[in-house]
Amino acid sequence: MALPAKKLETPVRETGTAPSTTFVSPTPVLTWARVVQAERVSLVHAHQQNNDKDPKAVTYYSRVWRVGRNSGSVIFDISPCPGFVNEAISKAMTIFPKNRGILIHREGKRVHLEVNLKTDEERAHALSQGIQFSSSITIRAAIALDKNAKIQKVRLSNLPLLDQDELEKGLRETLGSYGEILDVGINRDPQTKAYMGNGFAVLDIQERTHKTYTKLDHHVPWCGDRDDLIYANFDQMPLYCSRCHEAGHARDVCPRSRVLSRPIRIGLAPFRIRSVLKRIGFSEIRIVHGLENCNPNPFRKNPD
C-alpha cells in the first residue's frame, strides 16, 4: 500500500505570499555577552519614552546611522516589535500608502525598515509621530544618511566625571573638529549602572567644501586642553597600547607591564632569545650567560 504523498512545507521567506519570518524572539533570552555588555546612554537622543496615561505604552526612537538607498528615505528600527516582518511592512504600507518602496536591513539581531517617502510632510510625520506597530509599541523613524556620509564610530575612555549636561557640552566642543556629531553618550556598568569614565560617539567625517575636519587620533585633548586627554578607539586606527596609550606596541608587550619588567628565565639558547624578543618589539636586549643550566620546567627539580 502506497503511503500518501507528504505535504511539502512552504519555504519561509520575507517577501511574496509565503509566511514571513519573525524578527524578534517571542521569549527573548539575554546571552552572557549581552549581560556583561555596557549600557549605552545617549546624551543627544532619547531611546524610549513611556506614556504617562498608559504605563504599558512605550515610544521607541530609532537611532540608526545608515545610508539610504535613495534620498527621501527614513529608517525604523523595528527590533522591539514582536511579530513578523510582513506585519511590520503592512503597518508601514497602511500609514504611508504612497511610499516609493520599502527595504529590510539586518544588523545582527537588529532589524531596520527603510521606507522611501515622497514628501517632507510624510517624513516629518515619520520622525515626530512614527508608526504604532501594536497597542503598546510606537516607533519613530530616523532620517537615512546621505550617500556621501562616512560614518566613524568611536569608543571613548578616560572621560571626565561631570554631570551629563556638562559632558554633552564638553564632548561637542572636543569632537566637533573631527566630524559632524550624530550622537555622543556614556557607558554604564551593566551590573552597578555606574558611569566609570567610558563613552561613545558617532561622527560623519565626509569631506565638505565649506569645512575641513581634523583627522581623529587616539589622543584627544578635552576641550582643547592638551594636558587633559581622553582616548579614542576606532576602526583602522594606528597601533596604540591600551595600557600606557603610547604608539607602536600592543598591551601584551608594553614596557610598563609588571610581567615584562621582571627577569624571565627561558630555556632557550641566547641567540634564540634575542631573535624572539626582537620580533615582539624589544630594541635593547641584554643576554645573561649561563642559560644552558636554566631549567625550562620550574616544577621539575634539576638532577643532582
Residue at 139 is within a domain? yes
- pLDDT band at 265, cuts 50/70/90? low
Residue 258 lies in a domain: no
pLDDT of residue 261: 47
- pLDDT at residue 107, rounded to an integer: 83
Residue 271 and residue 243 share a domain: no
Nearest to 24 by CA among 99, 88, 114, 72: 88
Burial 119-153 (b: 16+ CB within 10 A, else e): eeebbebbeeebbebeeebbbbbbebbeeebebbe
Determine the Cα–Cα distance for residues 274 and 26; give it in Å rounded to an integer.
Answer: 59
In which domain, by residue range, is 276 found? 263-293
The confidence band for 210, taking pLDDT boundaries of 50, 70 and 90, is confident
Q: Nearest-CA neighbor of 249 among 229, 278, 226, 221?
A: 278
Give dist(CA 22, CA 84) in Å, integer: 4
* Better-scored residue on pLDDT, 180 or 299: 180
> So what's the pLDDT on residue 5?
46
Confidence grade of residue 82 (pLDDT, cut at 50, 70, 90): confident
* Short-list 126, 101, 127, CA closest to 115: 101
Whether 45 is covered by a domain: the verdict is yes
| pLDDT for position 170 | 94
Question: How many domains does the structure of the chain reveal?
Answer: 3
- Do residue 164 and residue 246 come from a single domain? yes
| 10 within a domain of the structure (yes/no) | no
pLDDT per position as a tens digit, 266-304: 555 555 666 666 565 555 545 554 444 444 444 444 444
pLDDT of the residue at 63:
83
Residue with cell 558617532: 202
Give the percent of the chain with pLDDT over 90.
32
pLDDT at 59: 87
Q: Cβ of 96: how many Cβ atoms within 10 Å? A: 21
pLDDT of 97 over the 90 cut = yes
Stretch among 124-133, 161-170, 244-253, 274-283 having the lowest mean pLDDT: 274-283
* pLDDT at residue 11, rounded to an integer: 35
Contact 138/60 with Cβ under 8 angstroms?
yes
Mapped to the 3 state alphabet, what secondary structure does the chain carry? CCCCCCCCCCCCCCCCCCCCCECCCCCCCCCHHHHCCCEEEECCCCCEEECCCCCCCEEEECCCCCECCCCCEEEEECCCCCCEHHHHHHHHHHHCCCCCEEEEEEECCEEEEEEECCCHHHHHHHHHCCEECCCCEEEECEECECCCCCEEEEEEECCCCCCHHHHHHHHHHHHCCCCEEEEEEEEECCCCCCEEEEEEEEEECCCECCECCCCCCCEEEECCEEEEEEEEEECCCCCECCCCCCECCCHHHCCCCHHHHCCCCCCCCHHHHHHHHHHCCCCCCCCCCCHHHCCCCCCCCCCC
Q: What is the pLDDT of residues 99-134, one digit of tens each?
A: 999 999 998 888 999 999 999 999 999 999 999 988
What pLDDT score does 100 carry?
A: 94
* Per-residue pLDDT at 47: 66
| Residue 41 phi, psi (nearest 5) | -120, 110
Task: Out of 120, 143, 166, pick the residue that ends a domain.
Answer: 143
- 187 & 270 share domain: no
pLDDT at 243: 73
Report if residue 94 sits inside a domain. yes
pLDDT score of 31: 41
Q: What is the mean pLDDT of residues 27-43?
A: 55
Sheet-wide strand order for 142-143: 101-107, 110-116, 73-77, 142-143
Average pLDDT, the chain: 76
In a domain, 27, yes or no: no
Among candidate residues 143, 167, 193, the one where a domain is terminated = 143
Same domain, yes or no: 97 and 168 = no
Per-residue pLDDT band for 13 (boundaries 50, 70, 90) equals very low
**Same domain for 124 and 55:** yes
Read off the pLDDT band of 26 (50, 70, 90).
very low
pTM for the full model? Answer: 0.61
Instruction: Assess whether pLDDT exceeds 70 at residue 206.
Output: yes
CATH code, 211: 3.30.70.330
